[in-house]
Amino acid sequence: MRCVRSDVGMAYQVEIAPRALRDIERAFLYLESEYPDGARRWLDEISAAILSLQSLPQRCPKARLHTLQTDTVVRVLLAGLSLPYKVFFAVVPGSNRSSGTVRVLHVRQALRRPWPGNVPA
């Protein structure tokens, strides 16, 4: 899935990996069953946070991952006011005509144990 806003000059494209889409869907379904009033708000918050990565994704700190088996630099964005989630992503530089691409790799509840960092190729 690609997300791009046309009103931002030289914005990064945001791609959401299939795993991250599944993560978001699972979290939403769980929240919808347990907290129906907050599920839609959470989805709006996580969506807005992911779209915010179109601008200055390097503002987010590098993730401390236990077993990263790639040279990819993974960063983490804390998202969601009602229920905090971590959005793990990588920035792929673009050409001189584009800023590049932000690839969202994984989304997980912030209170869960740390993600080991298995980044799909």
Instruction: Please report the domains of the chain, with CATH numbers, ordered by start residue.
Output: 12-109 (3.30.2310.20)
Q: Which of 9, 118, 107, 106 is nearest to 55 (CA)?
A: 9
Task: Give the integer Cα–Cα distance in Å for 90 and 73.
Answer: 6
Higher-pLDDT residue of 109 and 19 is 19
* pLDDT-derived band at 121, boundaries 50, 70, 90: very low
Q: Going by DSSP bridges, is the β-strand pair 100-109/13-16 parallel, antiparallel, or unpaired?
A: parallel
pTM summary value = 0.78
Percentage of residues in the chain having pLDDT higher than 90:
39
pLDDT at residue number 18? 96
Q: Quick one: CA torsion of 27, 31, 32, 34, rounded to 10 degrees?
A: 140
Average pLDDT over residues 67-94: 79
Q: Which of 82, 84, 79, 81 is nearest to 104 (CA)?
A: 79
Buried b (16+ CB within 10 A) or exposed e, 9-46: eebbbbbbbebbeebbeebeeebeeeeeeebeebbebb
pLDDT at residue number 74? 85
Q: Which of 96, 16, 97 is nearest to 53 (CA)?
A: 16
pLDDT at residue number 43? 92
pLDDT at residue number 6? 41
Q: Which two structure tokens, joined as six digits, stand for 25?
A: 């869907």
pLDDT digits 0-9 by tens, 23-69: 999 999 998 999 888 889 989 999 999 999 999 998 999 887 655 55
Higher-pLDDT residue of 109 and 4 is 109
